Amino acid sequence: MIRKIILMFALGLSVATTFAQKDKSTVTVEITSVKVDSMWVVPPKGGVFFVKPGANHKFVLNFNQEAPFILTFGIDVPKKGRISLFIEKGDHLNVTTDLDQKSVFTGQGSENAKVFDEFTNAYLASYLKLDASKMTANEVFDRTMAMGQHSLDILDANKQKVSPAFYKYQSIALLYQKLGSGMIIPYLYHVGLGKKISESIPEHFWDVEKQVKMDDKLLENPEYARFMQGSFPILLSYKEKFKDGTLDSTFTSEAETNLKLSVVEKTYTGKVRSLALGAILKAALARANDVASVKPSIDDYITKYANAEDAKSILSTYDNYIKTAAGKTPPPFVLNDLSGKEVTLKDFAGKVVYMDFWASWCSPCRYEMKNGSPKLHAKFKDNKDVVFLYISIDSKTEAWRKAIEEDKIEGIHLLSLGGNGSPVAKAFNITGIPHYVIIGKNGKIFDNNAPRPSEDKTPKRINEALNAR
């Protein structure tokens, strides 16, 4: 699919070719700060791929996309940097950037790029100054809302400079990014700082609901769709718990799912409701140890709300997760370790395997490896029947090896290249990392969503797998 959307331009295109492609969008990138041998690109249809520079050290990308889209590109070595652009049909944008402090935009679409860069950098600069550990939830919420509003103000101040499509897209996107940022604050204080949820609800938290529109047409904007499927159900479930006096109660994963399904079913309408319910159910499938327990809710969703496309999507997801449910034989794979030796799960027959899916760019993954893994390994250092198997989904071998060396991660290390498109991660239905899977001594999946190394219950789960018959 990517090859159908994106073409590398050769140097010296003929006039006839250029004329034939006048309705396409071209982005030419020159990175000034360092010498780069490749650049990663996230195209309009998702995924990640790498491109090489031309003879003039510039990267030239051509898109044949009717609707406007966000294009993100960047580098990981010799330093990390990224930039996002808003691209419309017919844009011919030139970007000269150090991927840090300075970017220069010229050509068709440059005014959009300048404004996009301005409010993105302004937000980032303010975000880096936030220190939640030294601020109350109210202070962080108010600051976050102000940061989001500042981006909207920059957009409004430049309304006459940018294209109508850019203004329409960003006015929706920035609003729901702003509201979504506020939704994570109670969770941040609860999980990150150990506060009670009831103590972490900002004073104006509930007011966010007044700004939310229920409009199927807005689903064309990815930020609106993400907010309605992920962030807003969190607010609604908190609101329901607040009414019941259960904000600080412990809910099982299944109970949390049922609560979100209930509040979305009552509050949402139309296509927005169908998509949100589907997203909640897919998230439940990703967390469930007993995947079949989610099936009744899926059947109810299909009967009441799902159109043919939504029904097909959720059933396909269910079928995939059933294949990697507890008790199933794990997907076969052959990967190379650090020395180049081929490794498969069959090599560990009769042992319990604690599988850690990670990547060098994943901060929570690296945190667990530094703070959780050493202590977990120590508990089983004398047990020859426990194997710690790390599978990275990095896109670069060098980044994988460097992270292992930096963090001094003990265990067996394998690499399944491809980022989110990693073949092994896809086979195991890994939708986010870090993710952990326990394989039992019988070679079957014991726990498809195992706890993290730092959690107290993890040694218990490994021992349960050791003692299982």
CA 170 to chain centre: 20
Summarised one tens digit per residue, pLDDT across range 315-357 is: 999 998 999 988 999 999 999 999 999 999 999 999 999 999 9
Answer whether 177's CB lies under 8 Å from 148's CB: yes
Summarised one tens digit per residue, pLDDT across range 153-190 is: 999 999 999 999 999 999 999 999 999 999 999 988 88
18 has pLDDT over 80: no
Highest mean predicted confidence (pLDDT) among 48-52, 350-354, 360-364, 454-458:
350-354
15 has pLDDT over 70: no
Q: What is d(CA 13, CA 104) in angstroms, rounded to the nearest whole number?
A: 24
8 confidence band (pLDDT: 50, 70, 90): very low
Q: How many CA atoms lie within 13 A of 110 on its CB side?
A: 13
- Amino acid 20: pLDDT: 37
High-pLDDT (> 70) share of the chain, %: 95
Answer whether 166's CB lies under 8 Å from 112's CB: yes
Q: What is d(CA 145, CA 75) in angstroms, rounded to the nearest whole number?
A: 30
- Amino acid 22: pLDDT: 56
Residues 6+ apart with CB under 8 A from 188: 132, 140, 200
What is the distance between the terminal CA atoms of the chain, rounded to a whole angstrom? 46
Six token digits for residue 310: 């939504």
- Amino acid 101: pLDDT: 78
Six token digits for residue 456: 């107290």
- Minimum mean pLDDT range among 85-89, 99-103, 211-215, 397-401: 99-103
Residue 1, amino acid: M
Q: What is d(CA 459, CA 30) in angstroms, rounded to the nearest whole number?
A: 50
Q: What is d(CA 171, CA 434) in angstroms, rounded to the nearest whole number?
A: 33
Radius of gyration (C-alpha) of the chain in whole angstroms: 24
CA distances 451 to 288, 366, 383, 387, Å, are 12, 15, 20, 16
- Amino acid 286: pLDDT: 86
